[in-house]
Amino acid sequence: MKTKFPSKGEVVRQWHVIDAEGEVLGRLASRAAMLLMGKHKPTYTPFLDTGDHVIVINAEKVKLTGRKEEQKVYRRHSGYPGGLTETKARTVRAVRPVRLVEEAVAGMLPKTKLGKHMYRKLNVYAGPKHPHQAQQPVALAL
């Protein structure tokens, strides 16, 4: 018996809207990553991008549990000696709240070319409005 793999034209992509208001960051990110990878579909194939598009709204109102607001540190490096920059979650939320959700979801996707392609289907907005009404996104309850 042969295994049937979906071709590029057979993959049907839907659009999902997730409201992050009051949701825990990790739970929201794992659900979004699952949708981006396509693991919720029966046609899931690990080496193909069968996932859907995900829109996350109200990213500024996402919840961090425990003392993560003060203790969680986001690190990035410029590539030069001594170029490590550390920023606390509280500062990231004040300056660029979208980054909290983006980095959490990116950390749950594969670290390959395919993972980068999946990440491009993620749209995160700090407020309740988004410009994707024409795609007729479906609201997703966590």
Q: What is the pLDDT along the chain (142 residues), one digit of tens a residue?
A: 888 888 888 899 999 999 999 999 999 999 999 999 999 999 999 999 999 999 999 999 999 999 999 999 999 999 999 999 999 999 999 999 999 999 999 999 999 999 999 999 999 999 999 999 999 999 998 7
Q: Is the dihedral of CA 74, 27, 126, 66 positive or negative?
A: negative
In a 3-state reduction of DSSP, which class is residue 134?
helix
**Residue 4, pLDDT score:** 86
Decide: 12 and 135 in contact? Cβ < 8 Å.
Answer: no
**Residue 112, pLDDT score:** 97
**Residue 48, pLDDT score:** 92
| Bridge-based pairing state of the strands 73-77 and 84-88 | antiparallel
Distance of CA 12 to the CA centre of its chain: 19
Q: How far is CA 1 from CA 4, 44, 67, in A?
A: 9, 19, 53
What residue segments make up the domains of the chain, in order of their start? 8-140
Report the CATH superfamily, name and number, of domain 8-140: Ribosomal protein L13 (3.90.1180.10)
Residues 6 or more apart whose Cβ sits within 8 Å of residue 69: 88, 89, 90, 93
